[in-house]
Chain A
Amino acid sequence: MASDAGGIPEREGVGSGLREGLRAAIYSKTLDCVHCGLCLQSCPTYRVTGRETASPRGRIYLMRGFAEGRLQDPELLVEEAFACLGCRACETACPSGVRYGEMLERTRAVVRSEEKDASLSTKIERFALREIVPRPRRLGILVGLLRWVQALRLDRLSTLLPRGLRDRVALAPRVPPRRERRRMPLLTPAEGVRRGRVALFEGCVMPELFGRVNDAARLVLSRAGYEVIVPRNQGCCGALHAHSGEIGFARELALRNVRAFTGELGQLDAIIVTSAGCSASMREAESWIGESGGVLADGVRDVLDFLDDARPGLPLRPIPKRVCYDDACHLVHAQGVAAGPRRLLQAIPELVLVSHRNPEACCGAAGIYNLTRPEMSRAVLQPKIDALIEAGPDLVATANPGCAMQLSAGLAARHSEIGVVHPIELLEEATRPVTA
């Protein structure tokens, strides 16, 4: 039986490196789990499969059992470590405070480092993560190409592709026009009464595909009285790499950002991030890079969390729309932010916040999971799309780019008219000066 992750040697004395690695990296943490099972129903892969092995409790049991030497064959442990979405809904459900996300990341890192011979898909994934995602020029060229393909409507040709590939192509978002992909100004002055100074983190994919979201954040912060600087030497946060077990590379990226957000920037009230996945991992930077990660851990705030705290009291124009807020996992489960974004949206006159079933459940995007495991990703997505269509809003608002793409693709596949936005875009619209 071939394993997706492959590469775990299988003869005598095998897996011993893996066993030692896990013992050092996570064993003591696995003991926090008392096997009560309260996490089970919060786990998207358990809900799809019904299998103990695809649940947080089961995965921790495999990690612990293998580290103890009671489980001999690491095959399933390796499979399950990568079959997990990493949504961390189990952490919200866990009364014992088990740090599942951290254990998962470390397990993946140990697996990757012990791997002798990676599978083709792992090699492709590694290449994309190392050579494209964190390199703005290459990413820009690729996105530019995609724009041409879409402009010439060559993407219709994808119907000729085999199903697996076609489904992945369908996830590609519409590339926005060039003007939305321009770099933001280095400094945007505060409007009105000056309340402080913040730095804006751009991210890797965000400027190319969701430049309007970053720009909306910049404008709202400035209107709220914050001077906004956009440091030039910043880059990808490394979250995708850490989630894929590429912890060494993730550390390099995190250290680069530590440098970018310290030094001559002067006093900052916060480092503002518009993507929940990025803000979550930057706030946990200390667990990857130690003390020097403190700059990020203490400084980083998700834009919605920051604005909810700041309460700038801006005049708001009405937006007469029905909106569902769908929690991004890495905002609600990794950072415990759920009420703030809803308060911000509810404050907009005439905007009706519509509730839908299980807004805290993962949508199945999970970084690049929807590309690496499209079948499970779709199965996880379906109940979410059903719930949204049942609630029938005009818009669904989500605070993470991956989720936005996943939800758009899922809704489009069902021919739904529901649009997908980042909540900050609605706030930008509501705070726009009348003359603009």
Chain B
Amino acid sequence: MTIVASPTPPTALIDRLVGIVGPAHCLFREGELFAYECDGLTLAPRTPLAVVLPATTEEVARIVRACRDFDRSFVPRGAGTGLSGGAHATEDSVLIECSRMNRVLEIDPGNRLAVVQPGVVNAELSQAVAHLGLFYAPDPSSQQACTIGGNIAENSGGPHTLKYGTTTNHILALEMVLPDGRIERFGNRVGEGPGFDWVGAIVGSEGTLGIVTEACVRLTPIPEGVETLLAIFDDVVAACRAVGRVIRSGVVPAAMEIVDRRTIEAVEASVYAAGLPKSAGAVLIVELDGNPVCLDGEIRLIHEACRREGCQAIERARNDEERTRFWRARKGAFGAMGRLAPDLYVHDAVVPRVHLPAILEKICEICDRYRLKLANVFHAGDGNLHPNICFDKRDPDELERVMKAGAEILEACVAVGGVISGEHGIGVEKRDYMHLVFDDSDLECMTRLRQTFNPDAACNPGKMIPTPRFCVEANPRARGYDAVPIG
């Protein structure tokens, strides 16, 4: 059968890639490339030149060297659940899909660590060590699908970030294929070392420094006692005020999440329904964990704080089954929005907690003004907002309003001292908003760090750091991404 519209791929490069990974793991037909044109961000899709699925570090290194020899760039990808387009690849980039590098190589319960390949699925790592009383703490909402490699690239957080920190607090050492094809190791198993903190620089670099091929991660003991409370409020702003009050009381919950009315409707209609009250304006989920003896006192403080902000009622998960249901509902919320509209633009911004109530009002006002359907479900404890705008991208007028509202939301967050991403990364989506939080010298500093590892930006080009005009002239590789119709 003939391949209809796809441009003829550079056969010699394809041959070389097939030689490295085998024909079953190198994709270049039109349909194959089409399915890889985007990740969790469906806006601004781009078709890669080819997709390769290596199984070992050595194969990744050989793929990188092959790309080098043919002067092509390359982009690493995990499960493609990212929401900022970090795994989008242009027509002259090879997409290196790590889904087959999914082995847990070592579990060391004594030192509470594990060594994994980047394609290991976040939730499956926790499952693999549960029998030892351990878990992997960062828990992004997509944890049942997303990979450790992707988590490292984006420095992913999750509901329990409030107490346990983000990915960067849980990575001890890394093996990385550098953009010139060399294999290097960074960090050590002890977690502390003299000299620069290279691991800290690599985590959250969105694949712009190299391709992580192995990670030594910290494991955390499963807490002895866990309590999950559901506080029901008339409106989302009151719930935000309660969050501030809880933090001021001195309690450090493991997680504090707010789910608003529209999100509750969507989730309760889905397979993740957990019996959240549909009449509530918002629900605040508070999870406490630790020594069971201490938890009762903390629960009293939470009750007190929520009551003072006028909460209607507080429910308490009676058992693990109920707790799991609450969390499945919270984590299925993003996907459940598909019930509200064909497309979804989930924003990700952080504001200092004290500004939560005011910024929530502002966001609602912005979306009302642009006649957009808004649903909020977010990590309230650390001020990490996720306004979800539901729309239909086939309507160009609506799409434009979505983009304008998004820009205003980010500007409003930055104006109160916030930042433009909490955990989803910058990717292509927010690259051109970086100037809202960084000035030219900050960006130049970042560019220099990237140049140290990735001198000509061949690895994941066009992501995270905006490219000044004069650089596009000097580096044609960056050009492809200028056409991104976002923002």
Contacts of B195 in A (CB 8 A): none
Contacts of B142 in A (CB 8 A): 36-38
Contact of A37 among B29, B79, B100 (CB under 8 A): B79
Cβ B34 vs Cβ A51 within 8 A: no
Contact of B271 among A8, A10, A72, A94 (CB under 8 A): A94
Contact of B34 among A46, A49, A61, A95 (CB under 8 A): A61
Cβ B338 vs Cβ A73 within 8 A: no
CA distance A78 to B339 in the complex (A): 27
CA distance A71 to B119 in the complex (A): 28
**Residue of A31, A33, A53, A65 most packed against chain B (CB within 10 A):** A53
Contact of A52 among B97, B100, B267 (CB under 8 A): B97
Cβ B338 vs Cβ A72 within 8 A: no
Q: Does B1 contact A (CB under 8 A)?
A: yes
Q: Does A413 contact B (CB under 8 A)?
A: no
**Residue of A40, A77, A92, A93 most packed against chain B (CB within 10 A):** A40
Cβ A53 vs Cβ B32 within 8 A: yes
Q: Mark B78-121, 1 if CB is under 8 A from A, else 0.
A: 01110000000000000001011010000000000000000101
Contacts of B485 in A (CB 8 A): none
Cβ B337 vs Cβ A96 within 8 A: yes
B interface bracket (residues with beta carbon within 8 Å of A): 35 or more
Cβ B121 vs Cβ A76 within 8 A: no
Number of chain A residues whose Cβ lies closer than 8 Å to a Cβ of chain B: 43
Cβ B30 vs Cβ A95 within 8 A: no
* Interface of A (DSSP majority class): loop
Cβ B344 vs Cβ A50 within 8 A: no
Q: Does B336 contact A (CB under 8 A)?
A: yes
CA distance A32 to B267 in the complex (A): 14
With contact pairs A50-B119, A61-B35, A97-B339 given, residues A72 and B30 touching in the complex (Cβ less than 8 Å):
yes
Cβ A41 vs Cβ B1 within 8 A: no
Cβ B53 vs Cβ A51 within 8 A: yes
**Residue of A32, A37, A49, A70 most packed against chain B (CB within 10 A):** A37
Q: Mark B313-354, 1 if CB is under 8 A from A, else 0.
A: 000000000000000000011111111001110000000000
Q: How many A-B Cβ pairs are below 8 Å?
A: 145
Q: Does A75 contact B (CB under 8 A)?
A: yes
Q: Does B66 contact A (CB under 8 A)?
A: no
CA distance A373 to B25 in the complex (A): 19
Cβ A95 vs Cβ B272 within 8 A: yes
Cβ B335 vs Cβ A34 within 8 A: yes
Cβ B99 vs Cβ A50 within 8 A: yes
Cβ A50 vs Cβ B339 within 8 A: no
CA distance A50 to B344 in the complex (A): 26
Contacts of B333 in A (CB 8 A): 95
Q: Does B59 contact A (CB under 8 A)?
A: no
CA distance A98 to B342 in the complex (A): 11
Residue of B nearest to A92 (CB): B271
Cβ A34 vs Cβ B337 within 8 A: yes
Q: Does A62 contact B (CB under 8 A)?
A: yes
| 14 A-B pairs (CB sep. < 8 Å) | A8-B1, A32-B338, A34-B335, A37-B79, A37-B81, A37-B146, A41-B121, A49-B24, A62-B35, A73-B1, A93-B144, A94-B335, A97-B336, A98-B338
Give chain B's interface residues, CB within 8 Å of chain A: 1-6, 24-25, 27, 29-32, 34-36, 38-40, 42, 51, 53, 79-81, 97, 99-100, 102, 119, 121, 124, 142, 144-146, 267, 269-272, 332-339, 342-344
